[in-house]
Amino acid sequence: MTASQTAAVAPHEVTREAGRRRTFAVISHPDAGKSTLTEALALHAKVLTSAGAVHGKGGRRGVTSDWLEMEQARGISITSAALQFGYGDTVINLLDTPGHSDFSEDTYRVLSAVDSAVMLLDAAKGLEPQTLKLFDVCRHRGIPVITFINKWDRPGRDALDLCDELSERINLQAMPLTWPVGEAGHFRGALDVRTGGMVRYQRTAGGATVAPETHLDAEQASTEEGAGWEQAREESELLISSGGEFDIERFSDATATPVLFGAAVLNFGVRQLLDLLVELAPRPNRRLDAGGAPRELDSPFSAFVFKVQTGMDRSHRDQIAFARVCSGRFERGMTVTNATTGRPFATKYVQQVFGQQRSTLDVAYPGDVIGLVNATALRVGDTLYLDRPPVRFPGLPSFAPSHFAVVRPRDLGRAKQFRKGVDQLASEGVVQVLRSDRRGDATPVFAVVGPMQFDVATHRLDVEFGVPVTLDRLQYSVVRRLVEPAHRSLIDSSGRGEVLTRTDGAELALFTDEVALGVITRQHPELGVEHLVAGTD
Ligand code: G4P
């Protein structure tokens, strides 16, 4: 594809198409109902004939993202994929985030590719640790958050109490848009704050179809629901009058969150959530490049890679790089430039990945996620662009690891495959790979945020590269970046730590614990090390 062909794209086409996109992720603690909500959203958008076809747990088959055996064995979703569906005139891009906190780095990358997030809470539990961590990432990145309080069909906490928890623990003002009629466990329907009426839900067999709704005005609701309705009215009014009045600007600047109540398993409240995404969630906007200059939506095509995934298709072990389109119209067949290497990249094989099915994708717009097949040359954080001038988006951060292990092939005869596998894992960001002259090139150190990443790495080396390995855990738990290379020997000779070089060239100083670091710093006040802050490394 040539530049002249792309010049034919009317700029307003790109802006219009971008305006139809809503690209978001669901953040939650495991078991809050993320898979169930994903199914329910897709069901409402009529992608699926009945809920249960996307994610599979408890014997249900077919999962968007559980393609590694290990994931299935553990019943968790480690990898990330994107789900696209139409809802009315809107195109919804729902990016999947790994559920386990050991993969928070992966989740962080996914969140770099969304425009908003849905924070899903279990009505009985409220804010849980993983939700808090993910919310922190959203806040750090200024991502607006919609809150969906799930499982209201079961006994749970008090609605006001849950909203108070948001302001008290994370300083996020709750702005109710619906309020449950009937306390948790006796969910009848929801007061719609903006119309003042009630939406009554009706259960369907197994929650497999969209729940029929009846709309009542306030008078009817009061007559038919009595005390439950009055309580909903009083509670929502109390919250609204104490600072919870809906304000789009506070949502956009991520200081307040619209709150909805529902039960994903029964499809209650799911339509309201979709409507809210369409109405309020931010559309794709100009993205800042590495120099801080905005890239206009109607500039020529550009995208950045936020995820590289191998082995999604068992029959051909291939590698897919997922990239979020930031500007322009993408057309399959374009030859784009990889800003990191300056090399051309042909986009002949581009797919949309939905469950276990893939379909060839021909055109994409800002906000969409494209899956570039056999993209062995692409790395997480790479920018792709068409035409001049070049553009480069900020790289994606790596987290401060806190677990370290030396990795060795069991069979020394497979050193070549071992190296290939290790390089592959490093390029995908599955683990960080550190080396030093002292340890030798052949015995790298894996550094991870959560130990389950070790399991994924060793499993993949074994299954994909035919290299069973041994891991020897190192007794380090604290890491700093060495800013003064000349100080390397101070640490190496201290007996309390050592310096290794990461594949991206960063020099990381590892210490057994804070005490060891404190001792070295006191002995050598001149020591040049700095924190690797999660998310800003
Ligand atoms: P996750 O992806 O966030 O880990 O959660 P998932 O959707 O798998 O849901 C976790 C459990 O919570 C599932 O039950 C699911 O059915 C249940 N659940 C989700 N939403 C609701 C809801 O609105 N109300 C109620 N009562 N339950 C809900 P499970 O027993 O672990 O699995 P399953 O056998 O039911 O699939």
Q: Is 296 helix (H, G, I), strand (E, B) or coil?
A: coil
Tell me the two tokens of residue 114: 């969304």
In this prediction the pTM is 0.82
Instruction: Give, for ligand 1, the residue of 57, 125, 128 to mutate: max count of ligand atoms closer than 8 Å to Cβ.
Output: 57
Q: Are residues 474 and 518 in the same domain?
A: yes
Does the structure show a pLDDT above 90 at 373? no
Q: Are residues 368 and 293 in the same domain?
A: yes
pLDDT in tens, 121-144: 999 999 998 888 888 888 888 999
Average pLDDT on 149-159 reads 94
Considering the domain boundaries, does residue 210 fall inside one? yes
Indicate which CATH number applies to the domain containing 349: 2.40.30.10
**Phi then psi dihedrals of residue 222, to 5 deg:** -65, -45
Q: Are residues 147 and 129 in the same domain?
A: yes
What's the rounded Cα separation, in Å, for the pair 109 and 155? Answer: 35
Q: Are residues 359 and 493 in the same domain?
A: no
Considering the domain boundaries, does residue 390 fall inside one? no
In angstroms, what is the span from residue 495 Cα to ligand 1's centroid?
49
CA distances in angstroms from 332 to 6, 16, 261, 336, 371, listed in the order given: 12, 20, 41, 10, 11
Q: Are residues 96 and 218 in the same domain?
A: yes
Considering the domain boundaries, does residue 105 fall inside one? yes
Q: Are residues 166 and 271 in the same domain?
A: yes
Does the structure show a pLDDT above 70 at 311? no
Q: Are residues 373 and 235 in the same domain?
A: no
H or E stretch at 234? helix 227-239
Indicate which CATH number applies to the domain containing 26: 3.40.50.300
Q: What is the DSSP letter of 193?
A: T
pLDDT in tens, 200-228: 998 887 666 788 899 999 999 999 999 99
Considering the domain boundaries, does residue 363 fall inside one? yes
pLDDT at position 458 is 94
Considering the domain boundaries, does residue 268 fall inside one? yes
Q: Is the CB of 150 under 6 A from ligand 1?
A: yes
Q: Are residues 132 and 238 in the same domain?
A: yes
Residue finishing a domain among 350, 385, 420: 385
Instruction: Give the residue among 324, 335, 329 at the shortest CA–CA distance from 383.
Output: 324
Residues in the chain: 537
Q: Is the CB of 32 under 6 A from ligand 1?
A: yes
What is the pLDDT of the chain when averaged over all its residues?
85
- Atom index in ligand 1 nearest the CA of residue 268 equals 23
The count of domains in the chain is 3
Residue finishing a domain among 385, 411, 438: 385
pLDDT in tens, 481-526: 998 888 899 899 988 899 999 998 889 999 999 999 999 999 988 8
Average pLDDT on 293-302 reads 95
Domain range for 326 = 287-385
Instruction: Give, for ligand 1, the residue of 27, 31, 37 to mutate: max count of ligand atoms closer than 8 Å to Cβ.
Output: 31
